[in-house]
Structure 1
Amino acid sequence: MPVNTRTHRAENRSIRLLAAVNLVALGSLTAPVVAGMPLKIDLLLPADERAAALATVLAVGGVAALIANPLFGALSDRTRGRFGRRRPWMLGGAAAGLLGVVALTAADSLAEITAAWVVTQTAYNATLAATAALLADTVSENRRAAASGIFTAAAFVGTLPPLVLTAILPRHVDFIAFVMPLAALVVIGFALRVPDREHVAGLRVRKERRTARFSSAFAAVWLQRLAMQSAFSLATAFTIYLIIDRMTHDAVAATPVAMVATLAGGTGIVLGASLGGALASRLQRHLPFLLVGALGLAAAAFLRSIADAPALLWIATSVGGLAVGAYLAVNLALAMRVMPHGQSGAYLGVLNVAETIPQVLAPVAAAALLRVGPGDPISGAADNYLVLYMTAAAIALLSLSTLPALRRAPAARYRPHAKTGAASAGM
């Protein structure tokens, strides 16, 4: 078998294994949020206190994730040993995460729930940071967009098993909470076969100074993700209330409409990430996909702003999902390109902060935007959905202001690997 063919197959295997780790690690964080913590808090506190308590626990956990991802990413950059740089943090994070889930299941006070959730978030973010860094270490540059697409799609697929199991077995939430953490240990056991060394993808990883060209290009990528994630979080906020106020006028009837919208959006993200990433790798161009992603999300947010029937909402969620999926895959690949070699853990951890901040702050911002103006001009309800979703569309378009900086950055241009024989291409 030719050397290039063996290398290609080994790289494909590594991508699939690391995507699987991403899937199970994020899935491990889903079950506690979906049912575990809400039910525990419901048993501990009166009905009028549970929402605020749950919001507080989730916010504290979000802050832990903000700190843990870049911290453990940077630590993995500096780890040396026979076991590798990333493997100790991948496996150690999954083991500590399982212990966090055990503690969460046994918790019988709000303080214990909060502490256990902080441990769980911190542990799995160590796994996620090291896994993303190992992907950057392992995949050759001309295939990073395709690999990023698979990696991104796996993250969203990982949220489905806990949701499905919770719907099928609502009385066994504690059991369901352990399914993905145990699966994570098994999957990481297989993923330990992925090469974890300084000589990867045919290049000797070397330390580079954080020069202005790297800093400016990465800053543009970071700001772009912050804007797009903020727009997406606002565009998907309070969907169930939109359906009730504009379409069904009934909470029970709104549930299946919201479920279809969620499924359509999730499917769009998976397809957009996998297909968009693959096409970007084939064309060796990035900026057109960023442009289409931002325009697609803006269009989807606009459709939401005027949606008064389920069909239009489902179209909006599908378009938005496809746009965001393609965008996230290419944005991650571009981040890998513009960061210095040997510092992927720290840089990708910082990139993750741009995704986590909107998840923490968007619900508060969305609630404030709903109160702008006299009310919703379409439904007559007190909440102004037109202002909320048009703001999301404007922020998505604002993300395009970073494209000129990326076009000028030498580090953002495709640098072909010497052994691939690929020709240099534009962004």
Structure 2
Amino acid sequence: FWDSWAGSISWQEAYDKVDFNRNGISDNSETKNLADQLWREGNQRIVQKLREKTPAGKIVVAHEASAYEVSYLNGWGDEDWEGSNWSWFFSNFWQVYRKQAVAPRVSFLEARGEPENFQRMRFGLTTACLVDAYFGMDDGNFAHRYTYIYDEYLANLGQPTSEPEELPGKKGVYVRYFSNGVVITNASGSRQTVTASDLRGGPFYRFLGGQQPEFNNGKKFTSITLEGTISANRQTGDGILLFKKPVTLIAPIIVDNVARNMTSPGSQPARFIGDWQQQDQGKVKQTNAFALNYGWDEFGAPYAVTFAGHGENQAIYTPTIGVSGEYDVYEWHPFHGNADSDFQEAIDVPYVIVHARGTTTGVIDQSKNQGQWNFLGRFYFNRGQSGSITISNKVSTGFVLADAFKFVHVSNTSRADTTPPFPPTGVKVEHK
């Protein structure tokens, strides 16, 4: 995999002065665009030598490759994608690599946007579905930090059963049919409405999702209005996944000690009361906290820590629940420091879970089961932000660590439901 591959030398400063053939004359002085030609020939030789020296079948992909490399690369990566010039890239890059690259074909569409920019995520994901590309979205191109899991990522559309098709009378609106559903992408640069009558093979259903339950509402598809705009240097669009059968797709909800590393889209990070320290990641490089092992600024802290007390220091975790239902709840804590032996973690950290059927209390031994998800139970949560988990420093001794909690909708787990139902009320038995 090459990052920052260049299909041309002409974007480099002073490119007109290069002399790749070493004859003492700048290449472009000899022949117009000769520098680019020799540069591309050199790129091809590099890949050829690589393939000669590695086992057969190795996949070679390059970020920012051009269409010139399609004959010898397996694919390309579109980095920091925001949707601009969609039609040009679709025709001149994506379709070319989808049909002509070396098999097996592997390409990446890597979108950039804030975690809650669900519209851009859908626009990018449905575009990737049209062109057989892998997809991801993060909020920055420096080390591509902080990628997130969206409900749509859980989808199983099956295999494509058609080519990308532009809908008649709706220029820039594409559909592609799959064995389990259909993808719609609005790349027209304007607002477009698609109805069930525009599609074949229905009926189709929106999936039931937790991150944007108004959009992904689980209902039978009748119509959708997808936004889109276009200007000289910016284009927006939207898309949707539809299914042949009703399906629920709710990504696990993570509430972490900080927002970007790694609280889920749509939820807020933990709220802290009292004296807590957000741990400097540079001082705990061997941590097993729930966090990426690189981070900076306010999002770099892998966990928060406080000392033993009387409950005056609290960390409150409030998930945003999009679909009411039962959720398995897990807790994650690391060791404090760079090794389990560095400090003594508290063995009796109290927690209070507020759910739809009341409250549940317990304690967590943070000296054990570190660096993993620890199951606390299954609880019913109503839609919204009425549920929460609170931990405090009301412990006998040791450090209290506040890292992450996870809420997994029961549709995404095979764990058996062992909670007995509430006893019936108002039942009267009559003997005759």
Specify the TM-score bucket, using the shorter chain as the normaliser. Answer: under 0.3
Q: TM-score w.r.t. structure 2 length?
A: 0.25
Structure with bigger RCO (C-alpha 8 Å, 6+ apart)? 1
| Larger Rg over CA atoms | 2
Q: TM-score w.r.t. structure 1 length?
A: 0.25
Q: Which has the higher helix share?
A: 1
